[in-house]
């Protein structure tokens, strides 16, 4: 059998090696290599989705072989309904962000090496099923990201990179402790993420709680859950455009994915115990994130806080502990990746022209930039949950799911929908409407390549908005399987 | 019989994409693409109506998504209410698009305008065809979006951009309630289909709360008190848009929603009462504001709020067919009035009625059709408004004396402010040196067609036709009585209309002062209150908007100072602790030896201590 998952994970690493061997001056060639390898990953991920059998609960495309037999560490990869859409999301955003990397103007060689290393790490995290391997990939994401923000970022890049690195590392260390505890709790000792749930779910309740919280620390920081979110605005704002896209589009999903893959199935009792607390955190994320986003004058920071708010809907769906909520949370993860990815691309395109992100400096851009105005309006509408576009379906299912479990709490969270509409439309008003604030000639409309990077994302927004089944069909069976295990 | 109803929204939707993608090349032709698309929709609607009369009905189309293990199907509902709405929407939309060819003639964003108009038409048709609440909600937001885009169409004007934002946000408050109502209804009954509403059983309080939450959506969309504030501001959009979206169709969607869920409301008299009372408040409040306003479009906007309130009142007192009948007649005469206003603004380039006067003789077609529209809304028999308004009054008469008087008072004020508007604009002497010209034929043609409807559409529901229209509509709730409306109510209704018109005539044409100066001065506060629209905008600004924005800024400061402060504080603490510990690593061998010796001593002492305790 063709080891498609290994190819998905290690193709970018191969690309990184090729770039490493190229002479420093061959910038075009490096971009070409990175682009080709990420395009190949995208094609492979499509092939994966097409070959994915939707009715099955078990892992598919499994690759398993002993790696460090002395410690019972396995090279164990596989996908199921929880991860397959995220693999596609990673591949798609990986390709588009790579295509948008033309804004990187110095030290391109290191950039493309690190970028592809990052791709390997992210892809690996989503498909690894052995804790040892998972942890390696999880940490592998961290290192290139540190450099990508720290070298190619904005004025406060060093602070932001260090904050991101230390914050996430603090979380992962706790996770490492938990992984080791879990490893020793099984006889024979095992890192198998799937089979361990039979052991961990029988552990003493207090120990389960402790382990869940240790994993929670790692995941909560990544999601990010209030009050562990303050690394995010700094990192997003300082990172260069393509890296912001990856950060918001893919990295935040790692945390939520962790709950689905590890936190909930391994510790069902703890999951039930903490579900209401998670719902409260979800509510806080939604409302607090939206309120802070409303107060922003920096375009990128506004989008960053909108991510905090949107991830709150994922938490609500997760806390619902029912099929509708889980489906909604998973779909919202995918949708948020698509929408916010597009939003960061749009912010970057404006920044390239205006060299500022201050919302009060713009105005009337509908005039000189009608195509840009169309895309910005379109993506904002998707983000604020307009029915017919993808954002609505995820939020709707998450809220409906959590409404079945927590009526009042969900009703309060729904206020977030109003505030979200508020800050997005207020942004549109300041950027696109009104008289033109500054020199209009500086605002040339979008070029063909920019339109090409945005179009696939907008098409997905429409398709998923009208036919959510396209994504839901992949996750439905896995969600049912997870629920059966939880109850 | 082939089912074509689901194809009705398709053509305007295609026209939207054609115009938005090929707008630059099409330019002037984009108007005709939109017009032809909505003509096709009109033909299909007529054929659906025929099919319905021949016995065809609703049908399913497919499944959209699974919701708590239940497939949510989407399908098409075909019943008298939908058939009526289809015809009203397609006829009015087609006419207004033809009008727009002339009205928007010189606009640089001509094709974008028609793209949005087509998208609106498609969403509105989808809304009335949706057979469950979720599908309705989707199109509901769709029409809201088009409304936003078209209000802010002239984006260079800051006022237009602000008005668009206000419209979207205010309605979204209601829409969020509607969404929660949908959740609650599903939790109570396990179904979202309209056909299942009649057999909805579940916990009483849940059904009641669901009905009220659904009504909150209607309040937002139909600009009822307390969410009415967006509609007058929405007049910043092109006048043709105001006619289609903010008078004839979209704002009536709230009334449509209540009518569509009527069985749910009717099962809980309290809910119906809420609908009636909110409608009554809106009707009277808006009519009183319209009586003093000097902007031709704003007067019509407040009039729309007031008339929608009247429809709500009609529904609330149990007059299902009365409310929906008025919805239809209002769509025609209010669209007509707005288009006339557009034609006048097109001709004189101002909206201030104090600057107009005597236009009747210079804009013949516009003038005559404006008079017809005014008489229709004022309730002069036998024009359309009279019959439908009379139905509402007749319904309220008897069991609801307070609501009846409210409706009667509203009728009086309506006749007064409309007559005032007409007289100030069309008659008397010209009050300024305005250049005027009659509008082109593309604009006059729709006026003539609409005034035909304003004249005669009401006859369908008149006693002369044995209330044929009401009986046709009354499939959900049987039409109450053959004898209604009573002669007394009819006489009263005609009386207040004539009184209102007469009062306006004597004040604004004959310049009679009915009250002595002293008393008029005493009522100055009332005039100021009305001129300032009861200060509702100011109150909202002070009570909701500004405090909320302050809260947002406060949360941001909290985020920076408190939460991030703690994070950075911990980091600094670690760094400082490291700084202290670093001194241990001084590099002097003597120090290390000293520490080592102390350490060994401590170990020995501990061991000794343990030994001591063991013995």
Q: Where does residue B488 rank: exposed (0-12), middle (13-18), buried (19+ CB within 10 A)?
A: exposed
A contact test, residue of B17, B62, B65 with most A CBs within 10 A: B65
Question: Distance (Å, rounded) from C-alpha B606 to C-alpha B599?
Answer: 11
Cross-chain Cβ contact B563/A296 below 8 Å: no
* Å between A209 CA and nearest CA of chain B: 25
pLDDT tens digits along A364-406: 888 888 899 999 999 999 999 999 899 999 999 999 999 989 9
Please indicate, yes or no, if residue A330 is contained in any of the structural domains: yes
Question: Distance (Å, rounded) from C-alpha B506 to C-alpha B511?
Answer: 6
* Å between B296 CA and nearest CA of chain A: 25
Please indicate, yes or no, if residue A116 is contained in any of the structural domains: no
Cross-chain Cβ contact B161/A472 below 8 Å: no
pLDDT tens digits along B175-190: 999 999 999 998 888 8
* Å between A387 CA and nearest CA of chain B: 5
pLDDT tens digits along B276-325: 999 999 999 999 999 888 899 999 999 999 999 999 999 998 888 888 89
Please indicate, yes or no, if residue A157 is contained in any of the structural domains: no
Q: What is the pLDDT of residue B475?
A: 65
CA distances from A297 to A308, A433, B237, B600 (A): 17, 16, 28, 60
pLDDT tens digits along B117-168: 999 999 999 999 998 898 899 999 999 999 999 999 988 888 998 999 999 9
pLDDT tens digits along A149-200: 999 988 888 899 999 998 888 888 999 999 999 998 888 888 988 888 888 8
On chain A, the residues whose CB falls within 8 A of the CB of B66 are 472, 476
Q: Where does residue A170 rank: exposed (0-12), middle (13-18), buried (19+ CB within 10 A)?
A: middle
Does the pLDDT at position B1 exceed 60? no
On chain A, the residues whose CB falls within 8 A of the CB of B64 are 468-469
Question: Distance (Å, rounded) from C-alpha B295 to C-alpha B607?
Answer: 96
Predicted interface score ipTM higher than 0.95: no
Using CB atoms, pick whichever of A166, A367, A381 lies closest to residue B145.
A381
On chain A, the residues whose CB falls within 8 A of the CB of B168 are 421, 425
Residue spans of beta strands (DSSP E) within B250-345: none
On chain A, the residues whose CB falls within 8 A of the CB of B169 are 418, 421-422, 425
pLDDT tens digits along A253-279: 999 999 999 999 999 999 999 999 999
Please indicate, yes or no, if residue A208 is contained in any of the structural domains: no
Question: Distance (Å, rounded) from C-alpha A28 to C-alpha A434?
Answer: 41
* Residue percentage of chain A with pLDDT more than 70: 99
Long-range CB contacts for residues A404-409, cutoff 8 Å, separation at least 24: A404/A320, A404/A322, A404/A324, A404/A325, A404/B68, A404/B187, A405/A275, A405/A279, A405/A319, A405/A320, A405/A321, A405/A322, A405/A325, A406/A276, A406/A279, A406/A319, A406/A320, A407/B184, A409/A279, A409/A280, A409/A283
pLDDT tens digits along A217-258: 999 999 889 889 989 999 999 999 999 999 999 999 999 999
Cross-chain Cβ contact A163/B567 below 8 Å: yes
How many residue contacts between A and B have a Cβ separation below 8 Å? 125
Please indicate, yes or no, if residue A159 is contained in any of the structural domains: no
pLDDT tens digits along A456-474: 999 999 999 988 888 988 8
Tally of residues, chain A: 487
Q: What's the Rg (C-alpha) of chain B?
A: 31
Q: What is the pLDDT of residue B482?
A: 47
* Å between B153 CA and nearest CA of chain A: 10
Cross-chain Cβ contact A166/B571 below 8 Å: yes
Does the pLDDT at position A9 exceed 80? yes
* Å between A400 CA and nearest CA of chain B: 6
* Token pair recorded at residue A146: 């540190």
Cross-chain Cβ contact A468/B563 below 8 Å: no
Cross-chain Cβ contact A426/B564 below 8 Å: no
The three-state secondary structure class of A249 is: helix
Per the CB < 8 A criterion, the answer to whether B100 and B114 are in contact is yes
The mean predicted confidence, pLDDT, of chain B is 87
Nearest CA-CA partner of B462 in B407, B389, B373: B389
* Token pair recorded at residue A373: 């105005």
Using CB atoms, pick whichever of A163, A231, A386 lies closest to residue B145.
A386
Please indicate, yes or no, if residue A127 is contained in any of the structural domains: no
Does the pLDDT at position B512 exceed 80? no
* Å between B344 CA and nearest CA of chain A: 27
Per the CB < 8 A criterion, the answer to whether A344 and A301 are in contact is no
A1 against A282, higher pLDDT: A282
Tally of residues, chain B: 615
Q: What is the pLDDT of residue B484?
A: 52
Main-chain dihedrals φ then ψ at residue A74, nearest 5 degrees: -115, 150
Question: Distance (Å, rounded) from C-alpha B313 to C-alpha B287?
Answer: 14
Nearest CA-CA partner of B260 in B92, B393, B84: B84
On chain A, the residues whose CB falls within 8 A of the CB of B161 are 429, 433-434
Please indicate, yes or no, if residue A169 is contained in any of the structural domains: no
Distance of CA B276 to the CA centre of its chain: 17
Please indicate, yes or no, if residue A7 is contained in any of the structural domains: no
Question: Distance (Å, rounded) from C-alpha B348 to C-alpha B364?
Answer: 14
* Å between A262 CA and nearest CA of chain B: 24
- Contact residues for B559 (Cβ-Cβ < 8 A; gap 6+): A230, A288, A292
User: Other CB atoms closer than 10 Å to residue B4's CB: what's the count?
Assistant: 16
Cross-chain Cβ contact B67/A381 below 8 Å: no
On chain A, the residues whose CB falls within 8 A of the CB of B164 are 425, 429, 433
Using CB atoms, pick whichever of A166, A323, A425 lies closest to residue B169.
A425
Q: What would the mean pLDDT of B13-32 be, rounded to a whole number?
A: 87
Using CB atoms, pick whichever of A403, A422, A469 lies closest to residue B65.
A469
Per the CB < 8 A criterion, the answer to whether A115 and A148 are in contact is yes
Domain that holds residue A286: 274-487
Total number of domains in chain A: 1
Nearest CA-CA partner of B455 in B297, B590, B327, B332: B332
Helix then strand then coil, % of chain B, to nearest 5 = 75, 5, 20
Question: Distance (Å, rounded) from C-alpha B439 to C-alpha B448?
Answer: 13
């Amino acid at each position: 059998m063709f080891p498609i998952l290994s190819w998905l994970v290690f193709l970018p690493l191969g690309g990184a090696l090729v770039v490493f061997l190229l002479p420093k001056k061959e910038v075009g060639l490096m971009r070409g290599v990175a682009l080709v390898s990420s395009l190949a990953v995208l094609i492979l991920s499509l092939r994966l989705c097409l070959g994915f059998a939707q009715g099955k609960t078990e892992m598919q495309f499994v690759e398993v072989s002993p790696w460090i037999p002395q410690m019972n560490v396995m090279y164990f990869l596989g996908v199921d309904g929880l991860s397959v859409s995220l693999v596609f999301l990673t591949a798609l955003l990986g390709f588009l962000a790579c295509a948008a990397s033309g804004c990187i103007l110095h030290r391109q060689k290191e950039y493309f090496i690190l970028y592809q290393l990052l791709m390997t790490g992210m892809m690996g995290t989503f498909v690894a099923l052995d804790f040892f391997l998972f942890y390696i990939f999880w940490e592998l994401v961290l290192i290139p990201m540190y450099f990508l923000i720290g070298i190619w970022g904005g004025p406060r890049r060093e602070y932001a990179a260090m904050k991101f690195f230390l914050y996430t590392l603090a979380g992962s260390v706790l996770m490492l402790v938990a992984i080791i505890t879990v490893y020793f709790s099984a006889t024979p000792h095992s890192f198998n993420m799937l089979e361990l749930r039979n052991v961990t779910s029988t552990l003493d309740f207090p120990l389960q709680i402790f382990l869940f919280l240790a994993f929670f620390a790692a995941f909560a920081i990544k999601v990010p859950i209030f009050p562990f979110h303050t690394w995010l605005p700094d990192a997003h704002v300082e990172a260069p455009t393509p890296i912001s896209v990856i950060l918001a589009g893919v990295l935040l999903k790692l945390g939520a994915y962790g709950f689905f893959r590890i936190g909930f199935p391994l510790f069902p009792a703890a999951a039930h115990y903490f579900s209401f607390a998670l719902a409260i955190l979800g509510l806080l994320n939604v409302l607090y994130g939206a309120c802070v986003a409303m107060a922003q004058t920096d375009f990128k920071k506004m989008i960053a806080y909108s991510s905090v708010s949107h991830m709150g809907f994922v938490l609500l769906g997760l806390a619902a502990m029912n099929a509708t909520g889980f489906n909604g949370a998973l779909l919202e993860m995918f949708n948020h990746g698509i929408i916010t990815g597009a939003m960061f691309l749009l912010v970057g395109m404006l920044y390239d022209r205006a060299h500022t992100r201050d919302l009060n400096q713009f105005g009337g851009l509908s005039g000189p930039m009608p195509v840009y105005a169309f895309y910005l309006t379109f993506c904002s509408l998707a983000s604020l949950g307009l029915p017919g576009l993808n954002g609505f379906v995820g939020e709707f299912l998450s809220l409906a799911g959590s409404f079945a479990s927590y009526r009042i709490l969900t009703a309060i969270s729904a206020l977030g929908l109003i505030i979200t509409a508020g800050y997005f439309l207020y942004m549109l008003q300041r950027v696109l409407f009104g008289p033109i604030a500054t020199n209009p000639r500086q605002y040339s409309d979008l070029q063909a390549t920019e339109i090409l990077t945005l179009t696939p994302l907008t098409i997905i927004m429409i398709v998923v908005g009208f036919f959510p089944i396209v994504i839901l069909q992949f996750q439905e069976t896995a969600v049912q399987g997870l629920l059966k295990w939880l109850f | 019989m082939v089912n074509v109803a689901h194809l009705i929204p398709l053509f305007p939707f295609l026209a939207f994409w054609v115009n938005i993608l090929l707008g630059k090349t099409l330019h002037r032709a984009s108007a005709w693409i939109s017009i032809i698309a909505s003509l096709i929709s009109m033909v299909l609607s007529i054929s659906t109506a025929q099919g319905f009369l021949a016995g065809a009905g609703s049908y399913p189309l497919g499944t959209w998504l699974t919701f708590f293990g239940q497939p949510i199907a989407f399908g098409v509902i075909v019943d008298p209410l939908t058939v009526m709405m289809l015809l009203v929407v397609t006829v009015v939309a087609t006419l207004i698009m033809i009008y727009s060819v002339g009205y928007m003639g010189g606009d640089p964003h001509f094709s974008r305008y028609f793209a949005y108009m087509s998208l609106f038409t498609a969403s509105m048709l989808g809304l009335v065809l949706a057979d469950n609440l979720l599908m309705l909600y989707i199109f509901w937001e769709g029409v809201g979006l088009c409304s936003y885009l078209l209000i802010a169409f002239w984006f260079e004007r800051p006022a237009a951009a602000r008005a668009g934002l206000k419209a979207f946000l205010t309605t979204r408050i209601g829409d969020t309630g509607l969404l929660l109502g949908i959740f609650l209804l599903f939790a109570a009954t396990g179904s979202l289909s309209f056909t299942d509403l009649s057999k909805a059983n579940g916990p009483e309080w849940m059904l009641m709360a669901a009905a009220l939450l659904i009504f909150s959506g209607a309040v937002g969309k139909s600009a009822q008190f307390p969410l009415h504030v967006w509609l007058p501001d929405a007049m910043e959009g092109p006048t043709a848009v105001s006619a289609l979206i903010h008078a004839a169709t979209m704002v009536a969607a709230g009334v449509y929603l209540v009518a569509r869920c009527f069985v749910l409301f009717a099962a809980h008299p309290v809910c119906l009462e809420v609908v009636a009372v909110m409608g009554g408040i809106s009707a009277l409040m808006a009519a009183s504001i319209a009586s003093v306003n000097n902007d031709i479009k704003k007067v019509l906007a407040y009039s729309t709020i007031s008339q929608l309130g009247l429809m709500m009142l009609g529904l609330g007192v149990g007059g299902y067919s009365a409310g929906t009948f008025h919805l239809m007649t209002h769509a025609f005469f209010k669209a007509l009035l707005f288009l006339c206003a557009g034609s006048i603004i097109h001709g004189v380039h101002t909206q201030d009625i104090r600057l107009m006067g005597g236009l009747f003789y210079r804009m013949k077609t516009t003038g005559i059709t404006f008079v017809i529209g005014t008489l229709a809304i004022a309730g002069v028999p036998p024009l359309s408004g009279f019959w439908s308004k009379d139905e509402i009054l007749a319904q309220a008469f008897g069991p609801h004396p307070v609501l009846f008087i409210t409706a009667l008072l509203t009728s009086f004020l309506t006749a007064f402010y409309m007559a005032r508007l007409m007289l100030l604009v069309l008659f008397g002497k010209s009050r300024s040196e305005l250049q005027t010209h009659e509008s082109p034929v593309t604009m006059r043609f729709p006026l003539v067609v609409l005034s035909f409807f304003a004249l005669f559409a009401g006859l369908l529901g008149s006693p002369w036709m044995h209330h044929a229209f009401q009986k046709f509509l009354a499939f959900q709730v049987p039409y109450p009585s053959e004898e209604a409306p009573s002669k007394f109510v009819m006489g009263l209704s005609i009386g207040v209309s004539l009184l209102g018109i007469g009062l306006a005539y004597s004040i604004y044409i004959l310049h009679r002062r009915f009250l002595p100066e002293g008393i008029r001065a005493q009522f100055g506060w009332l005039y100021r209150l009305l001129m300032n629209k009861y200060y509702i905008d100011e109150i909202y600004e002070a009570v909701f908007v500004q405090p909320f924005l302050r809260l947002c800024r406060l949360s941001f400061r909290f985020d920076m100072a408190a939460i991030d402060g703690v994070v950075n504080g911990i980091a600094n603490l670690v760094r400082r602790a490291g700084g202290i510990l670093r001194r241990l690593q001084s590099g002097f061998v003597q120090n290390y030896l000293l520490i080592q010796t102390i350490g060994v001593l401590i170990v020995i002492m501990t061991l000794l201590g343990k030994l001591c305790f063991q013995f």
